[in-house]
Amino acid sequence: MTMTSTELLPARAGSGESDAPPVAHLLFHDAGAAMAAETAAQLGTYAKLPLVAVRGAGIHLFDAAGRDYYDFYCGHAVTLIGHCHPQVVAAIQDQAARLIFYSNIVYSDVRAAYATALMAAAPAGYGQVFFCNSGAEANETALKVSRKFTGRPTVIALAGGFHGRTMGALALTSNPKYKAGFEPLLPGVAFAPFGDLDALAAQMDANVAAVIVEPIQSIAGVRMADPDYYQGLRALCDKWGALLIFDEIQTGLGRTGKMWAGDHWGVIPDIITLAKGIASGVPMGATLLTTRIAATIHLDEHGSTFGGGPLVCAAAAATLDVILSGDLPAHAAAMEKRIRDAICGLPHVLEIRGLGLLLGLHLDIPAKTVQAAMLERGIILGTSGDPNVLRVMPPLVVTAADIDHLAATLDAVLKEL
């Protein structure tokens, strides 16, 4: 017998009737009603833009009224190859029809294929990957692994870095506003100034298990250091026998104009963490380990029920294939030049920070003012922890025409402010 969605819902005790209407009946086609309902039902931990997103295609995001927005923010850099890329959609649909989930207690053909492809694309010396569900979980894994591998208690993080909101990842995150009310956090974490090798060297000793760094500190205002700094990090960690962890949750898989951020400086870290765009919006994280570290991790020492499930691996495999087959890192580098050429010199723009398609516009006026004005004109941009930095993080499939539209609109907005 075929059951309807209504019949599959729990029944009220003693009534035989459905406890609630099917979810499809709860969809709100009026934007105001949807916003009000979400505000009432969801914990109020997010400041939201005033639009109800219902559909996406490439760089375009459509709201409940059908308005088309150019998405130059990608929901925190998540839609790496654009919204609903046809290859990813097809992979998800095919896998959903075959097998949505089974845990790591069994082998998976799609997990095997994706893990193999990802490790083939990893930097030299990398051996294995641990799959999880988010960037915070990927960084928690890196934290556990580095302490076990070295037998040391201390991890040094960099001021301005953001590594997640779970208790371990939050301990690695420097901004006190994220920590207020949640202390005490995980002990054994120290902080050093970002970009200052001498200050870091003064803190290094035989107790340091690892140094964790975002190659580009996105939420802090798209902050970078000089190339010598990243090379110096590698040298300091080697000198003291500590591990170097690159949090590439936003920078990885081509967004900076190269496949891995370390490729810009000839630096290979010991551990790389990934999330955000790895599966085009299906929740996924990954911790990549060099062969020498992976060899020390044994049965039952770590786990994640949903990590590397078939559905998410199908999405991630399709995402990686699109990135590699289209040479999207090189395209990101070319589009960075287009953005810089088009925006440099506009009113109120003091500096363009970052690499590839992870860029920050340092303004002499509040970024939120510009963000709001651009949203009114149908372009989504991001702000940051620096109130004067506007983040520009389009999908890697952004075109020259998209960028020209951004620049023309931004020029008009900035001339009005």
Known catalytic membership, residue 247: yes
First to last CA, the chain: 64
262 and 269 in contact (C-beta within 8 Å)?
yes
Could you tell me the maximum CA-CA distance found in the chain, to the nearest angstrom? Answer: 72
**What is the C-alpha to C-alpha distance for residues 37 and 55, in angstroms, rounded to an integer?**
19
Whether residue 88 contacts residue 319, with contact meaning beta carbons closer than 8 Å, is answered with: yes
194 catalytic per annotation: no
In the chain, DSSP finds a helix count (H) and a strand count (E) of 15, 14
Q: How far apart are CA 358 and CA 329, in angstroms?
A: 12
Single-letter residue type at 109:
D
Catalytic residue among 131, 276, 386, 402: 276
Active site residue 162: yes
Catalytic residue among 162, 258, 270, 386: 162
CA dist list (Å): 412 to 147, 362, 415: 52, 17, 5
Question: How many angstroms separate the CA atoms of 102 and 87, rounded?
Answer: 23
Rg (CA), the chain: 22
Q: Which candidate in 247, 270, 386, 402 is catalytic?
A: 247
Whole-angstrom Cα distance, residue 112 to residue 129?
Answer: 11
**Residue-by-residue DSSP string for 67-116:** -EEEESSHHHHT-TT-BT-HHHHHHHHHHHHH-S---TTS--HHHHHHHH
Contacts of 175 (CB under 8 A, 6+ apart): 160, 162, 220, 385
257: left (phi over 0), alpha (psi -120 to 50) or beta: left
Structure letter (DSSP) for residue 277: G
CB proximity list for 245: less than 8 A, separation 6 or greater: 139, 142, 146, 210, 211, 212, 213, 269, 270, 271, 272, 273
Closest listed residue to residue 280, CA positions, set 82, 56, 60? 82
Residue 72 CA to residue 333 CA, distance in Å, equals 16
Active site residue ranges: 162, 247, 276
